[in-house]
Amino acid sequence: MGYLALAAATSHVGAIVKNAQADPEVSGVLHDAWRRLDAEIAEARLDAVVLVATDHYETFGLENYPAFCLGLADEHHGWAEFGNPGGSVPGRPGLAEALLGGLTARGFDLSRSHTMALDHSFMVPLAKLPAAAAAGIVPLFVNCNTAPLPSLRRCLDLGVALRETVRALPGSPRIGVIGTGGLSHWVGLPRFGEINEEFDARLLALLEEGRAEDVVAWEDDRILDEAGNGALEIRTWLVAAGAAGGPARVHAYRPMPAWTVGIGISAFEVTP
């Protein structure tokens, strides 16, 4: 049987890499937290990472916009849009096919892509977590910005189904799940640059208490009003939380006006 060896979540805004030294007293704390998380990933000796993120109209457009899509390529290329990280990262197509079959059997009809390129929501976390890139990835796209969105409940349940699917894999592969996105920020809206620390603190506290079920009761309109359209990306955190089954361990949180986002970096306790 497979083993879910690690679960984590992190913000992914491009400025993390493009303006890395902004406000060094604050950003330094965050860079230290990414280094600690990367060390945890390396220590977990992963055979692959399921990297859960969204897309900003680079790979998916209105001619084809799935709720969920799993990448099955041998190699995934970064878009390098607007100066964000590019390059390529190895895929794990055999594992991806097994996950696709297992998730389908558990009621999740995911789309699939054999040519799935990756925008900054995947590539920035990989730049900060090189141990995840070295393990090879299965990218899992979650629609976080084009209505109708999959519900928060559906995303948490997808994480649970992912955990069950991993544990049913043949052999003994060690798999990690990392969600990327959020926290509070407004993208392309008049409130661009605002950060809602109270919203971010409330979300992280619930996850630390193992109360992801409370988060799924939140309405998207409330999230939009309180924390911006970028906060809808907490769906990826819920996938990671559902996969882990246990509470979060927040490595760091800081509001970063220079990056226009509340930055969270967290690992999760994985249930036995």
Q: pLDDT digits over 180-221, tens only?
A: 999 999 998 899 999 999 999 999 999 999 999 999 999 999
| Rounded average pLDDT over 62-89 | 95
Is the pLDDT confidence value at 228 over 90? yes
How does the average pLDDT of the chain come out, rounded? 97
For the chain, what are the domain ranges? 3-263
- DSSP assignment of the chain equals --EEEEEEEE---THHHHTTTSSHHHHHHHHHHHHHHHHHHHHTT-SEEEEEE--SSSS-BTTB--SEEEE--SEEEB--GGG---SEEEB-HHHHHHHHHHHHHTT---EEESS--B-HHHHHHHHH-HHHHHH-EEEEEE--SSSSPPPHHHHHHHHHHHHHHHHTSSS--EEEEEEE--SS--SSSTTTT---HHHHHHHHHHHHTT-HHHHTT--HHHHHHHH-GGGGGHHHHHHHHHHHEEEEEEEEEEEEGGGTEEEEEEEEEEP-
| Rounded average pLDDT over 99-123 | 97
> What pLDDT, on a 0 to 100 scale, did the predictor assign at position 188?
87
The proportion of the chain whose per-residue pLDDT surpasses 70, expressed as a percent, equals 100
Split at pLDDT 50, 70, 90, the class of 272 is confident
Q: pTM for the whole thing?
A: 0.97
| Rounded average pLDDT over 115-144 | 98
Could you tell me the fold of the domain covering 3-263?
A: Protocatechuate 4,5-dioxygenase; Chain B (3.40.830)
| Rounded average pLDDT over 65-75 | 97
> What pLDDT, on a 0 to 100 scale, did the predictor assign at position 136?
98
Burial call 70-96: b when 16+ CB within 10 Å, e when fewer: bbbbeebebbbbeebbeeebebbbebb
| Rounded average pLDDT over 78-87 | 94
Residue whose pair of structure tokens reads 């906060």 in the numeric block = 231
Is the pLDDT confidence value at 25 over 90? yes
| Rounded average pLDDT over 67-84 | 96
Which position has the higher pLDDT, 165 or 188?
A: 165
> What pLDDT, on a 0 to 100 scale, did the predictor assign at position 29?
98
| Rounded average pLDDT over 133-149 | 97
17 with 105: CB under 8 angstroms?
Answer: no
189 with 229: CB under 8 angstroms?
Answer: yes
Split at pLDDT 50, 70, 90, the class of 62 is confident
**Both tokens assigned to 215:** 């988060």
